[in-house]
Amino acid sequence: MDKKKIVFSGIQPTGNTHLGNYLGAIRNWAARQAEKTNYFCVVDLHSLTVPQDPENLRFQTRSMAAILLACGIDPQQSTLFIQSHVAAHTEGCWLLNCVTPLGWLQRMTQFKDKSARQESVLTGLLDYPVLMAGDILFYDADEVPVGEDQKQHVELTRDIAQRFNALYNVEFFVVPQPIIPPVGARVMGLDDPAVKMSKSLADKRGHAVRLLDPPDEILYAFKRAVTDSGREIRFSDDPEKAGVNNLLGIYQAVTGKGQAEVEADFAAARGYGDLKVGVAEAVIETLRPIQARYHDLMADTAELDRLLAHGAAQARVISQPKVDEMKRMMGLVLPR
């Protein structure tokens, strides 16, 4: 049998995890855990690159881990851990800093965008992609599932890996591939079906369905969803009907039905009102068991922390020897 591919997923504990994240990413990760060797890392150190409230960051970090577990990430099958629990990430980041030209980082579009919006730019924000490269490279990951916005960072990771391999004349790092979900897999904003549902817009009521939203809030968001002035309930790529198409797509994704079956379910609907309530109910039912598991996990953080300590121990066994070997290659004296 071929060796299983290694997949590294990094998730920022920013809160506002929404239906798009679940349907476009987390659910698929959970469903395919057995096919690959998976690392799921809550990247709290990356969150420190912009100002954070300490208590909130601590809460969001555990909350993100609990969401992943509630959505079906199985710690028996996958390694789930918090980035800052594994010192190899920061230690190895320094080593990678010392082979990464500054110009490569100054060219990153996310750095340019984020730094243009801030008065004082932290060094960590510039260095963010090197920390991310380490996350990926210290586990020999073959695949990195990311949104389009992170593709450039995975390309930089490839450049850093190749540069290191060339400098030391060995195939030490695996050169990873970004895995980008297809556009059709996107969940769009309920208030504006021309933009994708996103964490940064999710504080605006009616834009997103957040995984932890209570049922009445979910119903509210769907009832206010933007549609069109017609009354035809069918899949369509007409931009005019993007709202209805998005609602049908969400319904299809949560029920697992085919397109014809989905349209048949709404054949007797008396208008978009019925469609909206039907989709809301299907989403509420899908999220109900996830929310119940989430609240159980957050009610007993001792058990959650124990699971995370186990994940960190597993992660250290892989990444620390890799970083130690880098140190040796780069001319550092290893302690006895």
Q: Which residues are catalytic?
A: 114, 196, 199
Residue 150 binding ligand TRP, by CB under 6 A: yes
Q: How far apart are CA 295 and CA 305, in angstroms?
A: 15
Query: Three-state SS for 182?
Result: coil
Triad 85, 21, 314: Cα angle to 5°: 25
Nearer to ligand AMP, 84 or 150 (CB): 150
- What are 1's two structure tokens? 């049998």
Residue with tokens 């695949």: 143
How long a stretch of residues is the chain?
A: 336
User: Looking only at residues 153 through 212 of this chain, which bind ligand TRP when binding is defined by CB under 6 A?
Assistant: 153
- Identify which of residues 38 and 227 has a Cβ nearer to ligand TRP in the complex: 38
Say how far apart CA 225 and CA 250 lie, in whole Å: 12
| Nearest-approach distance from CB 209 to ligand AMP, in angstroms | 10
Q: Binding string, 198-237, against ligand AMP, x = CB under 6 A?
A: xx--------------------------------------
Q: Which is nearer to ligand TRP, 111 or 251 (CB)?
A: 111
Q: Say how many residues touch ligand TRP, by CB under 6 A.
A: 13
Using CB under 6 A, which of the segments 88-96, 97-105, 170-178, 192-200 binds ligand AMP?
A: 192-200
d(CA 186, CA 189): 10
Tell me the per-residue interface mask from 16 to 55 with ligand TRP, x by CB under 6 A, - otherwise: ---------------------------x--x---------
Cα-atom radius of gyration of the chain, to the nearest Å?
Answer: 22
Using CB under 6 A as the binding rule, whether residue 24 contacts ligand AMP is answered as yes
146 sits in the region (left: phi over 0; alpha: psi -120 to 50; else beta) called beta
Site of tokens 């990678």: 96
How far apart CA 137 and CA 172 sit, in angstroms, is: 9
Angle between helices 109-116 and 151-168 (to 10 degrees): 120
Residue 12 lies near ligand TRP (rule: CB under 6 A) = yes
> How far is 287 from 30, CA to CA, in rounded Å?
15
Q: Is 136 in the site for ligand AMP (CB under 6 A)?
A: no
Looking at residue 121, the DSSP 8-state letter turns out to be -
Residue 293 Cβ vs ligand TRP, minimum distance, rounded to whole Å: 24
Question: If contact means CB under 5 to 8 A according to the sort of partner, which of ligand AMP, ligand TRP, none does residue 21 touch?
Answer: ligand AMP
Judged by CB under 6 A, the residue of 19, 82, 86, 146 near ligand TRP is: 146
Pick the closest to residue 144 from 46, 40, 58, 245 (CA basis): 40
Residues at the contact surface with ligand AMP, assessed by CB under 6 A:
20-21, 24-25, 145-147, 181, 185-187, 196-199
Residues at the contact surface with ligand TRP, assessed by CB under 6 A:
8-10, 12, 43, 46, 132, 135-136, 144, 146, 150, 153
